[in-house]
Structure 1
Amino acid sequence: MPHAPQLRIPATYMRGGTSKGVFFRLQDLPAAAQVPGRARDALLMRVIGSPDPYAKHTDGMGGATSSTSKCVIISKSTQPGHDVDYLYGQVSIDTAFVDWSGNCGNLSTAVGPFAIANGFIDPARLPENGTFAVRVWQANIGKTIVVHVPIADGQVQETGDFELDGVTFPAAEIVLEFMDPSDDGDDGGAMFPTGNLVDELEVPGVGTLKATMVNAGIPTVFVNAADIGYTGTELQDAINGDAKGLARFEAIRAHGAVRMGLIDDVASAATRQHTPKVAFVSPAADYVASSGKAIVAADIDLNVRALSMGKLHHAMMGTCAVAIGTAAAIPGTLVHAAAGGGSREAVRFGHPSGTLRVGAQALQVDGQWSVTKAVMSRSARVLMEGAVRIPVDTV
């Protein structure tokens, strides 16, 4: 009997921050997948190897974690003053689902280098040595990200001595500026969609918790670690092996999503797995990171742990770091209190893999808070380039 051939699609496998994913140029995708819809979702799921009931992604490019089940589509920008449009798809591991509701802050780092290396930037604009600011339109959330890419001898510089907790090897430092990251679009309105810096969030089966719910970088529900029985210094094994605990976090996330106006009812949370995030905060305390590195309380302002796609993240999502920096800059939030209060434009927090510093400039005008930008340093590197292959009947 005849067998369908495999489809060959140009692609680049990249690490960005503490995530990695498969990057495509829009024009390289099959015609049916160049527009949103079932064909595009099916293609990305097959590339990653989802849905996989074994949760291994053996037959795909994914790594069976939320940090490694990602795809990115880059195209020439449709927006004035921008170089590229960046579309991000978070691929579910065990269900047939691609979540387009938010951004990946870590992979945002790799968008700038990819854009330069793949012909989206006129080489005449690049310095021989120095940095080049790639202006990126984040199409999922309608926001601008400026990616400051180091250039050496007219090419993207990837190697260097910048060390990032959660990434094994050093690389070149890339500075990210998330411009006006507070979400003023359709997904919940103002930066604090409930109008409060702290809410009483009632979660059946869990209780009534104090929660800061913020739209900045990515919609995030913050709760106090102590209120849900944690110290805030936990690593992945302490959380991800506890089915009851994970169900409790999902309940908090679902009810927070309703209060934030992201979904109409808790049942809809299953169709919006990527957002909002749920995170728990605690005052600075000593702990040992997953690498064995000792984190000293005096070196950080607070501890934060966050869940992504139903599991504790091994480090910290870049977009959630924006939310942390934003909330830490605003007096009255749970994050600001955990950081010890006071006036600040930057915060260093502990996460399972180490520490991260993020800056945020928060302003209050007529009683409403906004953030002009959030800044952090990450790194990125091409892991492999060429083409991915999927069965031709996928699309």
Structure 2
Amino acid sequence: MVTRQIKIPATYMRGGTSKGVFFALDDLPAAAQQPGPARDALLLRVIGSPDPYGKHTDGMGGATSSTSKTVILSRSSQPEHDVDYLFGQVAIDKPFVDWSGNCGNLTAAVGAFAISQGLVDPSRVPQNGICNVRIWQANIHKTILAQVPMADGEVVECGDFELDGVTFAAAEVQITFVDPADDSDGGSMFPTGNLVDELEVPTALVASGKLKATLINAGIPTIFVNAEDIGYRGTELQEAINGDTEALARFEQLRAYGALKMGLISRLDDISARQHTPKIAFVAPRMAYTASSGKQIHSDDIDLCVRALSMGKLHHAMMGTAAVAIATAAAIPGTLVNLAAGGGEREQIRFGHPSGTLKVGASAQLVAEQWQVQQVVMSRSARVLMEGWVRIPEDCF
């Protein structure tokens, strides 16, 4: 019996500093229109995972956390929303799709795709100006607003907005993450109730056996630690971390201890099933450094330095959801992020990352002894790279 390939309508898009394969839910084969093994197997084959060679040669992935991403969109099931956005982070070396969190970078492309696919009511799409797309983020059950520029009834993708970590300029898309803290089940933005916790870790990881950390659920669950406490400056580029297998293993172990403290896992070994969340990041006071592009970042350009790991590797820029966590933590006096930025109250922050800088705005207030952040705002850009069909063997799912 001959196995044939089937083709599925898809669009390959860049959103922020990531890129991924976008699908309309109704275009997927019937078996993959519902969550489960068939959907996961299909997306794994599209991306080209698992790949023991770490190249994604036989798929659409790029063998990095920023490029092994998939998105499924549909008309929204929620009142006062236009589109439901479901994100799947595909593991590179394992047969696993992580549905536990959002991708903030690809959020920038969701509005454009939704408009082009007719998922937004035409009455809400202006011929010219800004289309305000109301996105329901289905992974984390949160609202995101995207301001998509329009001209002559079409999405504007070209422009002069520059985003560090992206090679070419494009049209600016403002993204607003509404009420980004994870307060499900009556939980708190800070799952332990503390702005700073002290993790007890093996002395092989930290000589003192103790590590200060800010554990926060905003945008995406994130563990922030001081760069100095783990032997770094906070100005490192990818090669300084990703070329050191011992360092990567150490970060993964520290991530497990943080996840355990946050209540995201019940045993340290469970961290292997949560590759996408939580993130781990290290912060340091502002200082000058040379970005990966060769651009000089001066200390006066930023408020602090932040480096974050995603899917076990140092990110080349900054994940959009982690930027939400950074902005939220920076706005709350006393967190490690806030202290690294100089302390005090602030409603916006510009931080340095390996590719350059990023400005994010957030405002926090203390209500009934609980910190609340109404929204976090940042600018990104997005562009269609290719559209048509992806092909996969008919028997792979």
Q: TM-score, structure 1 length as denominator?
A: 0.98
Structure 2 match to 1:221 = 223
Percentage of matched positions with identical amino acids: 72
- Structure 1 window deviating more from structure 2 (340-349 vs 161-170): it is 340-349
Offset of residue 126 of structure 1: 1.7
- Structure 1 window deviating more from structure 2 (134-143 vs 199-208): it is 199-208
Tell me if structure 1 keeps the 8 A contact 2:177–2:376: yes
Structure 1 match to 2:147 = 148
Structure 1 match to 2:289 = 287
Offset of residue 122 of structure 1: 2.6
Residues 65-100 of structure 1, C-alpha deviations (whole Å, 9 max, x = no match): 000000000011110000010000000001110000
Structure 2 match to 1:162 = 161
Offset of residue 129 of structure 1: 1.3
Tell me if structure 2 keeps the 8 A contact 1:358–1:376: yes
Tell me if structure 1 keeps the 8 A contact 2:75–2:120: no
Paired with 1:280 and 1:180, the residues of 2 have a C-alpha distance of 24
Paired with 1:86 and 1:174, the residues of 2 have a C-alpha distance of 17
Q: Give the counterpart letter for 2:181 in structure 1.
A: S
Paired with 1:11 and 1:215, the residues of 2 have a C-alpha distance of 32
Offset of residue 3 of structure 1: 1.8
Structure 2 match to 1:39 = 38
Offset of residue 343 of structure 1: 1.7
Structure 2 match to 1:29 = 28
Tell me if structure 1 keeps the 8 A contact 2:82–2:121: no
Tell me if structure 2 keeps the 8 A contact 1:203–1:251: no
**Structure 1 counterpart of 2:377, from 375, 378, 383:** 375
Offset of residue 128 of structure 1: 1.9
Where 2:184 maps in the other structure, the secondary structure is coil
Q: Give the counterpart letter for 2:219 in structure 1.
A: G
Tell me if structure 1 keeps the 8 A contact 2:68–2:91: yes
Paired with 2:326 and 2:173, the residues of 1 have a C-alpha distance of 20
Tell me if structure 2 keeps the 8 A contact 1:15–1:21: yes
Q: Does 1:61 align with 2:63?
A: no
Offset of residue 342 of structure 1: 2.0
Q: Give runs of aligned pairs for residues 27-176 of structure 1, distance below 5 A.
A: 27-176=26-175
**Structure 2 counterpart of 1:314, from 313, 316, 331:** 316
Residues 186-244 of structure 1, C-alpha deviations (whole Å, 9 max, x = no match): 5x921000000000011223131000000000000000000000000000000001111
Measured on the aligned residues, the alpha-carbon RMSD in Å equals 0.8
Q: Give the counterpart letter for 1:37 in structure 2.
A: G
**Structure 2 counterpart of 1:189, from 172, 183, 187:** 187
Q: Does 1:255 align with 2:243?
A: no
- Structure 1 window deviating more from structure 2 (68-77 vs 199-208): it is 199-208
Residues 142-200 of structure 1, C-alpha deviations (whole Å, 9 max, x = no match): 000001100111110000000000000000000000000000125x9210000000000
Residues 96-141 of structure 1, C-alpha deviations (whole Å, 9 max, x = no match): 1000000000001100000000011233322221101100000000
Where 1:393 maps in the other structure, the secondary structure is coil
**Structure 2 counterpart of 1:266, from 268, 271, 275:** 268
Paired with 1:153 and 1:61, the residues of 2 have a C-alpha distance of 32
Residues 51-73 of structure 1, C-alpha deviations (whole Å, 9 max, x = no match): 00000000000000000000000
Q: Give the counterpart letter for 2:359 in structure 1.
A: R
Paired with 2:54 and 2:396, the residues of 1 have a C-alpha distance of 20
* 4+ residue segments displaced more than 3 Å: none
Paired with 1:124 and 1:376, the residues of 2 have a C-alpha distance of 26
Q: Give runs of aligned pairs for residues 232-247 of structure 1, distance below 5 A.
A: 232-247=234-249
Paired with 2:183 and 2:345, the residues of 1 have a C-alpha distance of 25
Unaligned runs of 5+ in 2: none
Paired with 1:107 and 1:287, the residues of 2 have a C-alpha distance of 28
Q: Give the counterpart letter for 1:261 in structure 2.
A: G
Q: TM-score, structure 2 length as denominator?
A: 0.98
Unaligned runs of 5+ in 1: none
Offset of residue 389 of structure 1: 0.2
Where 2:395 maps in the other structure, the secondary structure is helix
Q: Give the counterpart letter for 2:290 in structure 1.
A: V
Paired with 2:57 and 2:184, the residues of 1 have a C-alpha distance of 38
